[in-house]
Structure 1
Amino acid sequence: MATGVVSVGLHLAGFVWAARVLLAVTAALWVVLAVTFCALFGGGVTRWREETSTPSALTTVAGTGVLGDGVAMISHPVAAAVLLGLTAVLWTVLLPRVLRQLSRRVPGAAYLVTVATQAVAVLAATLAVELPAKWLAWPAVTMLALGLLLYVLVLTRFDFGELVGGAGDQWVVGGSLSISALASAKVTLAMDAPAPLVWLTLAVLAVALAWYAVLVGCEVLRPRRGYDGRRWSTVFPLGMTAVSAMTAGTACGVPWLGTLGEVLLWPAVIAWALVAAGAVRHAAASA
């Protein structure tokens, strides 16, 4: 997810070759994770049910959606359409299981219910333009609305202590709104920019940017050093906020949002490089 969204951001900013390299890395990682996911069936039904009832299982949906966006941006809409179908199936199977297991106090990872839902919306709206298949804009609108409702549901259960104590996934509280803003912007483009969708995009993006500022402030007040795998959940919102700002700038006719997105892309790239280096060191130490 994190690598894929940084790839999309680099492509939007005009760094095409860097974007293609990261997209290739994303595809390779997706294959590895797909094999790992399928291997869960080998552990029996009980293990499969346990593993697929946690919010982290929804990374399969979001990751497949992000890969589909990347494939679409390099002009392979048919392959992206296949990934959309897979994303929709995974979402249908996994989301009800995760929702049934949500507790009263949840960490930032619980916002993956919104991220996964909006990932389907983003890819559907993208293909509505790229194929073209205008009818896909309507399922995208439905998923956009459902994703926002799920955000409110999780927000009522979110442990706000995670903002200063979380290990990285607390950033998804903002990142889930960033992908919601991206979904709204994509639908806006697919439907030729109706005013209600333009205002919705700008409103959701404004709240996402506010969360961005709050989360940065919490990191400054209480630095959390050292590698933790959950830091990938920090990179994804950083990259997604940049991508949503650039896309919203185009969809809503607000050029300075595009500039803001390009500025915000670089913290995401730096964070990706730092977390990737930490992951490599951690893997080497474990070996």
Structure 2
Amino acid sequence: MHEREHVVNRYAGHGAAWPPVAGAAVMATGILSVGLSLTGFEVVSVVALWFATALWLLLAFGFSALLLGDRRRWEATADTPPALTAVAATTVLGVRFELLGLTPVAVSLLVLAAVVWPVMLIAVLRHLPRQAPGAVFLICVATQGLAVLCAVLAPEAGDWLARVALGLFLLGLVWYVDALARFDLRQVVTGAGDHWIAGGALAISALAGSKLLASGVWSGGAATTLRTATLVLTALDLAWYAVLLGGEFARPRLAYDVRRWATVFPLGMTAVASLSVAAATGVGWLDTLGRVLLWITVAVWLPTSYGFAHSLMGHSHDPASSVGGNRRPPRARR
């Protein structure tokens, strides 16, 4: 098998009953819950939150069981970017629980994510290949997830947490540049879903910027710079959205793959970022755009959820089985 194909399959977690990339299901459903709450659909939002929480608990149990039962396999899994979905998913849930006013739960999730993040990030950074699929951008997403949660909790904890959030925000941008240099651009037309994180990482960066602006800690030139950076990140995210959507039309990939959760998350994150940036900067048309993009996210979330449930019920042993149960042609054996 060529090195490139080996990297793609390893990052996808093929062969694992609950591959780490399935953590993107928690991220996607959690951010959808946030978006639904911001647009006034609170009841549906809470239902999505509890679904995401249940998935998070199952993934946490599976990851812990693997650590205790097969340390070597756990280590082989933990040094790939998809493992960082554990951190990102935890921060997304923390943000949603804070919106519910459950600050102690949000703080607990922040502490947990902050403890796990450096350990896993260092392991991942030590094993990054020169050329990688879209999952490589999770080094940015996990870092910016912490930045967002810190910024959201800053009004409760104090300005010091907003400054920590700013440091994480800047570090996340550094990791984005590094990931972009490693990203295999062919994934735009060949990727199985995680290539969308190239845009999603910018979306969560823009969201972090908007939350930093909303914290009210910065004023004058610092606030202007932060506002400009946030709007630039939003524009770049929307540009990636258009490019990635074009790639989907150029080469449709309709079969279900667990990595499609890593498509739903960027879609939802772009919607939430647009809503949040509109509120923080006063650019009104972004609010309208965010609402439209949110319903696009819902439309993609539904078949992805069906495919996920279908695969878990035992109709397919392949994490890349189709939504409708029709399996893709088998790959040639080595």
Shorter-chain TM-score category? over 0.9
Aligned to 2:289: 260
- Match in the other structure for 2:24: none
Find out whether 1:64 has 2:74 as its counterpart.
Answer: no
Q: Quote the Cα distance in structure 1 between the aligned partners of 2:274 and 2:177.
A: 22
1:151 deviates by 0.5
**Residue in 2 that maps onto 1:140:** 165
TM-superposed deviation, 1:192: 5.3
Q: Per-residue deviation at 1:48?
A: 2.6
DSSP-derived class of the 2:182 partner:
coil
2:48 is the counterpart of 1:22: yes
Structure 1 residue aligned with 2:246: 217
d(CA) in 2 for partners of 1:185, 1:150: 19
| 1:115 alignment counterpart | 141
Report deviation, 1:207. Answer: 0.1
Q: Specify the alignment match of 2:309 in structure 1.
A: 280
- Equivalent residues, number: 286
Secondary structure at the residue paired with 1:223? coil
AA aligned to 1:50 is A
Identity %: 48
Q: Which residue of 1 aligns with 2:209?
A: 184
**1:40, CA displacement in angstroms?**
2.1
What is the SS of the residue equivalent to 2:40?
A: coil
Alignment of 1:150 onto 2:179: no
Matched residue, 1:103: 129
The correspondence for 2:107, drawn from 68, 73, 81, is 81
Which of structures 1 and 2 has the bigger CA Rg?
Answer: 2
CA RMSD of aligned residues (A): 1.2
Q: Distance in 2 between matches of 1:228 and 1:185?
A: 32
Match of 2:18 in 1: none
Tell me the amino acid that sits aligned with residue 158 of structure 1.
F
SS in 1 for 2:132: coil
Q: Does 1:164 align with 2:189?
A: yes
Higher normalized helix content (fraction of residues): 1
Q: 1:44 offset after TM fit, Å?
A: 4.2
CA distance in 1, matches of 2:109, 2:312: 29
Q: Could you tell me how far 1:132 is from its partner in structure 2?
A: 4.5
How far apart in 2 are the matches of 1:208 and 1:175?
7
- Tell me which amino acid in the other structure corresponds to 1:195: T
CA distance, structure 2, for counterparts of residue 269 and residue 99 of structure 1: 33
Question: 1:213 & 1:150 partners in 2: Cα distance?
Answer: 23
- Structure 1 residue 5 and structure 2 residue 31: aligned? yes
In structure 2, the gaps of 5 or more residues are 1-26, 318-334
Q: Distance in 2 between matches of 1:37 and 1:139?
A: 28
CA distance in 1, matches of 2:152, 2:134: 27
- Give 4+ residue runs of structure 1 displaced > 3 Å after superposition: none
Q: How does 1:18-57 map to 2 (within 5 A)?
A: 18-57=44-83
Partner of 2:15: none
Task: Report SS of the residue matched to 1:63.
Answer: helix
TM-score under structure 1 length normalisation: 0.97
Q: How far is the alpha carbon of 1:78 from its aligned partner?
A: 1.6
Gaps of 5+ in 1: none
Cα offset for 1:286? 3.2
CA distance in 2, matches of 1:233, 1:17: 25
